Amino acid sequence: MKKKAFIIVFLFLLSNYPLINAQPWVTVFEDRVKIGETIIVGDYKIDVTLEKNEMKPYAIIYEDEEIKKVVGQGNLTEIGNMRIVLGSYNAEYEEVFLALQYKPSLTKEISPKNGASFEVGDYALKVIKSGNESVLLSINGDEVEVKAKSVRVYDKLALEYTGDVLRVYLANIQVKREERKDYELYYPFKGLKVKAGDEVRIPITVYNNGNKELTLQLKILSKPLGWDVRVLDESGKYGVNEIALNAKASAVLTLFIKIPEDASGTKGIRFAVGEEIGEITLDVVKNAGIDVIIPMLGVETEAGQSVTFPIIIKNRGEEKAVKLEVTEKPAGWNAYFLMGNQRVKSFLLEGEQEITLFVEAPRNAELGEHKIGFSINGIEKNVSVFIYKTHKGEPAKIVVTAKDEEGNFVQGAKISTGNKTAFTDGYGRAKIELKPGEYKIFVEKEGYELVEKEVSVEDGEEKTLEITLTKLPYYFELEGSGDTVAIAAGSIGRYAVIIKNLGKEEDWYSLSAFDVPEGWSAEFYYAESPIRKITISPGESKEVALRIVPPYNAQPGEYNLIIAVKSSSGLEKRINLLVKLIGEYKFEMYPETPMVNIKAGREGIAYLSLENIGTAPITNIKFEVSAPQGWDVKVTPQVIPELGSLYFEGGVRRISGSENRLTVTIKVPETTPAGTYQITITGKGDQAQASTQITVRVTQSSNTAYIGILILVLTFGAVIWMMRRVGRR
């Protein structure tokens, strides 16, 4: 389906070119091509490659090793006798659909007669039937009908029939396909004009397109006698004879060439990176009074960026005037010379001077290599800028920063143009994406005057605008402490209202409350004094408290009321307030008898009462016991699902029932000494908790008492006996 869709687009593009009374075209290639493969058509070589950052395919067209055009995806490009279109791209297989058409040459022109035969190249043609409306041919055994005033394409033939004359065109061209290697070289210069004594440094980029690490040998295959030619690393400091590249990685090398002072004429240098052979031709001219040294001959950059080329000019004789001129640059580009920060066109030179060629690439610059030519006292030089990423067709961005007259950021300002809208953040910033062009930007916010600005943006450009908003004479903002206030039954609710005078003038404001429930009280206070009107200076704010008092018998629930503030200028703002009246959650526990007597080794029972003294039920009350170690204390029931309030609706007291009584069973160990002990019982509900204590007085049984007395008598007798015995001695 992708291929079919592409062919339809391709035919639509070609439909803009008339075929009658004009040179016809023949499709000579139509297939998917892998990234890195090369298609050779006559004198043209088409390298299919991939833009490294955007991952978009494009094709570079060479003629005699010189870049002629760079073709982007979806564009129809015509160069010489060839048309080229790049179609859909499959990232998984790294394939792009490529279609080529070639302009055939007129080979045969006849008045067709029935039975006539002739040959054109490898094709045998025979006229089967001829008429004014069409001619029927046999081509290599296939029947082909050509209608009058139309063109019919058969393989590499184009057949045009005027009604009485048949013209046969032949695309006598061979198309070769070279599969990609695992690696490729790129170096921007194939031929250079240099001066004797110059040092030339040419960047060479090696790309590993494969999925494995590569180790490549570096060699200088041929160089002029007496010349210093070496391969250095990217910094140009160290010699390199071998590189290792990870999969999908690249490396930049420097081909260093030192030209002898007495050199002249055309010289060639050949080098090898692995099995790839590179060749550079140098046209050496003798020194003409000044030397022009250009350390950087080619750079890569992104469209919309500026690049600089340092240029060193040496004067070998007396002081002389130096004239600078940019002779060649792409349309829409800007290039000029700088000395320090000053643009210059000429200057006096004595000794040596460094200047800078400053080049500005537009944001919509085409991908590929672009040449900048210039002349220094008639010495022609050129450098190149390779655009690896373009912003052509990308949306532009406008970043607006809004501030007030005091320089404070304005949050929530509305930024709009056309059908685009954005709002500033806490730093007063907002961003809008637009197509390249000219726009009117509107900045507005309540309390401020409207601001209008005109701005123009280019492809992919991000432009910053700083807007100052002027306050209106009378304007205020109203803020509340939330949209809900909770009040416990029987208490007073407080809600804070903040009035900010954002205007330029002092103003007064009246305060009102609407839809207050019947029987409720709602009044405004400032500094603990009731008010109905307040005056505020410009730039200041005051906090007013709304006191809300529900009646004692008001039922828990949700109530709505409205707060309205109106200025002297007539501007009114409101707050819709939700009042939640919540019940009081509180209960008590207390023993029915203050003390329980239990004999050691026996069980006793105590009773506790629970009473909800709040205004709302308490649910899911569970009990925890803290007792002396070894005691067994149980509470029955273990859980009370709900403990109702002591008050019915309307404040009528409810009588406690048996469901609010606890039975506490206490078993005292037999070895517990007589005495008084405390047991703490805590009830924990979902909304509240309470604790109480039971005092237990433990007594001993009579048998245990007798045994204790006997032990004391025996002990006392033993002491007296010991004293007498010791006294005799």
Tell me, what's the pLDDT at 651? 41
Q: Are residues 601 and 578 both part of a single domain?
A: no
In the predicted structure, residue 652 carries a pLDDT above the cut 50: no
Residue 260, helix vs strand vs coil: coil
Q: Are residues 59 and 134 in the same domain?
A: no
Q: What is the pLDDT of residues 683-725, one digit of tens each?
A: 999 989 999 999 999 988 655 555 666 677 777 777 777 777 7
Residue 728 phi, psi dihedral angles, 5° rounding: -65, -40
Q: Two tokens at 259?
A: 């030209």
φ, ψ of residue 627 to 5 degrees: the values are -135, 165
Higher pLDDT, 510 or 210: 510
Q: Is residue 113 part of a domain?
A: yes
Do 593 and 565 share a structural domain? no
pLDDT, mean of residues 341-351:
91
603 & 695 share domain: yes
Examine residue 720 and state whether it is found in any structural domain, yes or no: no
3-state SS of 300-348 is EEECCCEEEEEEEEEECCCCEEEEEEEEECCCCCEEEEEECCEEECEEE
The total number of structural domains that make up the chain: 7
Calpha distance 323→373 (Å, rounded): 14
Of the ranges 73-77, 125-129, 537-541, 654-658, which one carries the lowest mean pLDDT score? 654-658
Instruction: Grade residue 174 by pLDDT with cuts at 50, 70 and 90.
Output: confident
Cα–Cα distances (Å) from 100 to 33, 40, 75, 77, in that order, read 12, 11, 12, 10
Residues 299, 201 contacting (CB under 8 angstroms) = no
- Is 716 among the domain residues? no
Residue 719 lies in a domain: no
> Would strands 82-90 and 95-102 be described as parallel, antiparallel, or unpaired?
antiparallel
Q: How does residue 13 score in pLDDT terms, banded at 50, 70 and 90? A: very low
Over residues 255-262, the mean pLDDT reads 88
- What does DSSP assign to residue 90? E
Residues 570 and 591 placed together within one structural domain of the fold: no
**pLDDT range class, residue 9, cuts 50, 70, 90:** very low
Residue 604 falls inside a structural domain = yes
pLDDT for res 263 = 84
Residue type, 602: R
State how far Cα 619 lies from the chain centre.
51
Q: Is beta strand 541-549 parallel, antiparallel or unpaired with respect to 493-501?
A: antiparallel
Phi, psi of 352 (to 5 degrees): -135, 140
161 in the same domain as 198? no
Q: Which of 112-116, 186-190, 321-325, 725-729 has the lowest mean pLDDT?
A: 725-729
Domain presence at residue 223:
yes
Amino acid identity, position 236: G
Q: For the domain that residue 432 is a member of, what is the CATH number?
A: 2.60.40.1120
Name 123's Cβ contacts closer than 8 Å, sequence gap at least 6: 139, 140, 154, 155, 157, 170
pLDDT digit string (tens) for 356-414?
Answer: 999 999 999 999 999 999 999 888 999 999 999 998 888 889 999 999 888 899 999 99
Whether 599 and 696 share a structural domain: yes
- Return the DSSP state at 687: S
Phi, psi (degrees; rounded to nearest 5) at 332: 85, -10
Q: State which amino acid sits at residue 494.
A: R
CATH number at residue 341: 2.60.40.10
Return mean pLDDT, the chain.
86
Confidence (pLDDT) at 8: 44
What is the 3 state secondary structure string of 365-423?
CCCEEEEEEEEECCEEEEEEEEEEECCCCCCEEEEEEEEECCCCECCCCEEEECCEEEE
Task: Tell which residue, 353, 30, 336, 13, has the closest CA to residue 175.
Answer: 30
Give the 3-state secondary structure of 150-195.
EEEEECCEEEEECCCCEEEEECCCCEEEECCCCEEEECCCCEEEEE
C-beta of residue 499 within 8 angstroms of C-beta of residue 539: no
Percent of the chain with pLDDT over 70: 91
What is the token pair recorded at 480?
A: 């509340």
Q: What per-residue confidence (pLDDT) applies to 182?
A: 74
Q: Does residue 646 register a pLDDT over 90?
A: no
Helix (H, G, I), strand (E, B) or coil at 663: strand
> Phi-psi category of 7—alpha, beta or left, where left has phi over 0 and alpha has psi -120 to 50?
alpha
Cross-sheet strand order for the sheet of 639-643: 595-599, 689-699, 675-684, 618-626, 639-643
Q: What is the mean pLDDT of residues 469-497?
A: 87
Cis peptide before 295 (omega within 30 of 0): no
In a shared domain, residues 199 and 271: yes
Domain boundary residue among 137, 159, 176? 176
Residue 524 neighbours by CB under 8 Å, 6+ apart: 497, 511, 513, 530, 531, 532, 544, 545, 546, 547
Phi-psi region of 675 (alpha: psi -120 to 50; beta: other; left: phi over 0): left
Where does a domain end: 435, 469, 503? 469
> Do residues 285 and 264 make contact, with C-beta atoms less than 8 angstroms apart?
yes
| CB-based contact 499:534 (threshold 8 Å) | yes
On whether residue 718 sits in a domain, the answer given is no
* β-strand pairing of 157-161 with 352-360: unpaired
Do 592 and 681 lie in a common domain? Answer: yes
> pLDDT by residue (tens digit) across 84-140?
988 888 887 788 898 998 889 899 899 999 999 999 888 999 999 988 889 999 999
The values of phi and psi at residue 446, to 5°, are: -55, 130
Instruction: Verify that 511 and 558 share a domain, yes or no.
Output: yes
Higher pLDDT pick, 505 / 654: 505
455 and 526 part of one domain? no
Residue of higher predicted confidence among 548 and 406: 548
Name residue 329's amino acid. Answer: K
Shared-domain flag, residues 453 and 531: no
Please indicate, yes or no, if residue 240 is contained in any of the structural domains.
Answer: yes
Closest CA to 59 of 25, 23, 29: 29
Cβ 485 vs Cβ 563: under 8 Å: no
Per DSSP, the residues of 553-615 read TPPSEEEEEEEEEEETTS-EEEEEEEEEEE----EEEEESSSEEEEETT-EEEEEEEEEE-SS
Domain boundary among 582, 615, 642: 582
Lowest mean pLDDT among 120-124, 415-419, 529-533, 704-708: 704-708
The bridge status of strand 276-285 relative to strand 228-232 is unpaired
Of 282, 360, 262, 357, the residue nearest 312 (C-alpha): 357
pLDDT beyond 90 at 628: yes
Domain that holds residue 273: 182-286
Q: Is the pLDDT confidence value at 3 over 80? A: no
